[in-house]
Amino acid sequence: MSKTNILLLPGDGVGPEIMQEATKVINLLNDLELCDITYNSADIGGIAIDNHGNPFPEETAKKCLESDCILLGAVGTKKHENNENNLKPESGLLALRKSLDLYINVRPIFLFNSLIDSSSLKPELLKNLDIVIIRELVGDVYFGEPRGFKGESGNKIGYNTMSYSTNEVKRIAEYAFDLASKRSSKVTSVDKANVLEASQVWRETVEKIKSTNYTDIELSHMYVDNAAMQLVKDPNQFDVILTGNIFGDILSDEASMLTGSIGMLPSASLSSSSGVYEPIHGSAPDIAGKGIVNPIAMILSVAMMFEYSLNNQNVSSIIKESINSVLNSGYRTKDISLSSEYVDTSKMGDAIVQEIKNNV
Ligand code: IPM
Ligand code: MN
């Protein structure tokens, strides 16, 4: 069996708590000889500012390059939230994405059937929910130049630049179309082309790629405001949603609520040669240290790592099916519980580990 060397970046807030549960799962899979994973860890975000004066230290960058792929918890702390931009925990995550050119962010939106009542939407809207958001991750207003502050005191101006180039759009659109070819062949590209030049280049490029190389794909375009509305009106009209960095950030948080809780959703950030796997939720400082965070998004991120970086669909399915069984048996963390009864983070992790043992 080939050896895999992964890097753990637990980060801040609830990050270390969910990473702990992810390592329980990985240790078990090693013991069961379903994989041969060794891991190393490093600091990112607020903890890295405290320990190294930098949210993405050199040492972490080096370890990222040396590992086969990366598992990340979350970044963000109250303590550093008023720091200048390059000393905010979030810029550590953005620097990681940029340095590895992780331009593809895959955010699957699916519902475990037993959680259908945990969603705030009517159950009949959610049957067989299965959407994938493909979010461009290293461009857009997140990274556009110029940016900064200007103006005089009393009337400060903060400004950013939204931009997309043909080349940036082309590569993410190709990824989305390739994925759609393996699913229902339906892509909804989301932009704001009625107002923004960046979106006009986006739309033109997506259209061109489709008509040149992907004529079998059923492509439609939707303005982002309408897409936000349609997602809660009739989510099943979507299959693959292709969108830019900022719109994808917002729409994926919205879509997560279709599945019952933001604590349920994993993501993969990919380049042609590396992958970072992390929950879509943040560091949740309000519940950090209380042992109540839902570890499922993190454990599903491990499943995505097996699928995308380790090419091991079998282990990925075992993890997902075990989570499904644990939910079917009634285990709930606080965020997905409909009553005042729930299990803590560690018990949920243990239940999943036990179920994997039963399934293998
Ligand atoms: C996400 C997060 C990040 C983002 C933050 C933490 C910088 O919200 O991964 O969705 O905005 O991309
Ligand atoms: Mn987000």
* Contact status, residue 126 vs residue 119, Cβ threshold 8 Å: yes
pLDDT the model gives residue 219: 98
Regions of the chain short of the pLDDT cut 70: none
Distance CA 279, CA 265 (A): 6
Q: Are 253 and 200 in contact (CB under 8 A)?
A: no
Q: Which atom of ligand 1 is nearest to the CA of 75?
A: 6
User: pTM to 2 decimals?
Assistant: 0.96
User: What is the spatial distance between Cα 258 and Cα 244, in angstroms, rounded to a whole number?
Assistant: 21
pLDDT at 183: 96
User: What is the pLDDT, as a whole number, of residue 197?
Assistant: 98
Tokens of 216: 């079998």
CB-CB contact of 85 with 94 (8 Å)? no
- Per DSSP, the three-state class of 259 is helix
Q: What is the pLDDT of residue 11?
A: 98
- The token duo for 184 is 């229902």
**Looking at the structure, do residues 132 and 255 belong to the same domain, yes or no?**
yes
**Could you identify the atom of ligand 1 that is nearest to the CA of residue 76?**
6
CA distance 219 to 296: 33
Ligand 1 pocket, Cβ-based, cut-off 6 angstroms:
75-76, 90, 93-94, 249, 280, 282
Looking at the structure, do residues 12 and 38 belong to the same domain, yes or no?
Answer: yes
Nearest to 45 by CA among 96, 99, 102, 106: 96
Residues serving a catalytic function are: 142, 192, 225, 249, 253
Q: Are residues 58 and 84 in the same domain?
A: yes
What pLDDT is attached to residue 1? 78
Rounded Cα–Cα distance for residues 360 and 356 (Å): 6
Protein residue with its CA nearest to atom 9 in ligand 1: 280
Indicate whether 252 and 274 sit together in one domain.
no
Q: Is 164 helix (H, G, I), strand (E, B) or coil?
A: coil
| Total count of domains within the chain | 2
Domain that holds residue 295: 1-107+269-360
> Cα separation of 306 and 37, whole Å?
11
Query: What local confidence, expressed as pLDDT, does residue 186 receive?
Result: 98
Let me know if residue 243 belongs to a domain.
yes
